[in-house]
Structure 1
Amino acid sequence: MAPAAATSSPSAPAPARPALLGGIAGLDAAVSLRLHALFLPVPRLLLKALEVAGDGRIWLPVPISLLLLSASPANASGAVSPLLVGLVAGLVIDLALVGLVKVVVRRPRPAYNAKDMYVAVAADHWSFPSGHSSRAFLVAAFLAAAGFQPREALFLWAAATSASRVLLGRHYVLDVVAGAFLGVFEAWLSNLFLRFMCAQSTILVC
């Protein structure tokens, strides 16, 4: 008697989520490359200026230094600026959240990214989300909530800084979109923290 043919159970269908994410990432990469190529005539010096304007090497040390200065004995009033407290808190939150998401997602930067990018920490090698975008929208949203005018100028700067990341080839479109939403969320967290500190502290003039 001939041996019975072995029957194999049908293989389980591949999960749709990775394929869907892969398709979205592919579309994002194609759109980002198209935008990068389309805006190559934009002066690189202008885009680099926007890059510097949103750089964490400026936005983190300067507010921290001003905060320490206002809290020093040299400050005769002894009052600490709540604006600086909230801004520094937001920037620290941003540094932690962006770094965490980058090392978890580990999305490589675009292959056409020029080699003139400063990398401060290992997480900067990864693309998602854009730290410049999150930082710019954090600052814009926080200052707008604090009453700075014109608000439109704040968000125009944040949007231009975010767009420059795609045009420079540093990031994909979804990187900067995610960064923008993250920055607005961080501004909300900063305001929550500031309200809590104002209710608890006697040295903040809120």
Structure 2
Amino acid sequence: QPFLGPLITLDTTVSHFLHTLFKPILPTFLLLLLEYSADFRFSFPVSLSLFLASPSLSSRSTPFILGLLLDLAVIGLIKLIFRRTRPPYNPNMSPVVHADNFSFPSGHASRVLFSATLFHLILQNDDGFVSDFIKQWTKLEADFVLLGVWVWAIMTATSRVLLGRHFLFDVLAGVIIGVLEGIVAFLVFWF
């Protein structure tokens, strides 16, 4: 505890400072939009819909579905072990109904970094199907969409501290877990 105490104090202080500094400046609606977009109750049905949409999409969406389930289990287990309470300076939390009251690690951060990492790895190793699918449906180049996914992931992870939902170390842990889950999902579930 001699090492953890000062570290937790620093984390709490820096997180509160960032929340207080940016809360009056940033548009809350954008931060809440990011929060909704990364919620499991949104991301899982979207992945499942892609899986069910067509046989050609099902094998390519399987890593996302299984990875999201892996993320749910890993984050839930870690939260139950550590049971770190959420920041006290955000009593109303949000319109998004939270499944838990624990802060460490951030499930939103892990989910978005998982998604960005897996999408990145899939595009790097794609036979052209995913790139062609993106271009057909969005009229955008796959690299441009990939950049957008990374920007979304970083903004969403950052928003967790700025909204006062998590402490900085919660988000950093979620980021690390999400990247590792993305790598695992690609190596294990990508066909």
Three-state SS of the structure 2 residue aligned to 1:50 is: helix
Over aligned residues, Cα RMSD in angstroms?
Answer: 1.5
Distance 2:76 2:63 in 1: 20
Which one of 5, 9, 14 corresponds to residue 31 of structure 1? 14
CA deviation digits over 1:180-202, x for unaligned, max 9?
A: 1100100111012224xx3xxxx
Which one of 90, 105, 122 corresponds to residue 129 of structure 1? 105
1:64 deviation in Å? 1.5
Worse-superposed segment, 87-96 or 149-158: 149-158
Is 1:115 the counterpart of 2:92 in the alignment?
Answer: yes
User: Considering only CA atoms, is the larger Rg found in Structure 1 or Structure 2?
Assistant: 1
Is 1:149 the counterpart of 2:143 in the alignment?
Answer: yes
Tell me: higher relative CO, structure 1 or 2? Use CA pairs within 8 A at least 6 residues apart: 2
1:127 deviation in Å? 0.1
1:65 deviation in Å? 2.9
1:116 deviation in Å? 4.1
Distance 2:34 2:114 in 1: 16
More helix by share: 2
Contact 2:66 2:185 in 1 (8 A): yes
Is 1:138 the counterpart of 2:114 in the alignment?
Answer: yes
Q: What TM-score comes out, normalization by structure 2 length?
A: 0.83
Distance 1:143 1:84 in 2: 10
Unaligned residue ranges in structure 2 (runs of 5+): 124-141
Is 1:160 the counterpart of 2:155 in the alignment?
Answer: yes
Which one of 66, 84, 89 corresponds to residue 50 of structure 2? 66
Unaligned residue ranges in structure 1 (runs of 5+): 1-17, 71-77, 199-206
1:79 deviation in Å? 4.4
Q: State the partner residue of 2:30.
A: 46
Which letter does structure 2 place at the counterpart of 1:53?
S
Distance 2:151 2:58 in 1: 26
1:19 deviation in Å? 1.8
Contact 1:89 1:190 in 2 (8 A): yes
Q: What TM-score comes out, normalization by structure 1 length?
A: 0.77
Worse-superposed segment, 78-87 or 179-188: 78-87
1:152 deviation in Å? 3.1
Distance 1:100 1:194 in 2: 21
- Number of equivalent positions: 170
Cα gap change, 1:79 to 1:43, in 2 (>3 Å):
closer
Three-state SS of the structure 2 residue aligned to 1:112 is: coil
Three-state SS of the structure 2 residue aligned to 1:146 is: helix
1:177 deviation in Å? 0.6
Which one of 75, 83, 93 corresponds to residue 106 of structure 1? 83
Q: Kindly report structure 1 stretches of 4+ aligned residues shifted beyond 3 Å.
A: none
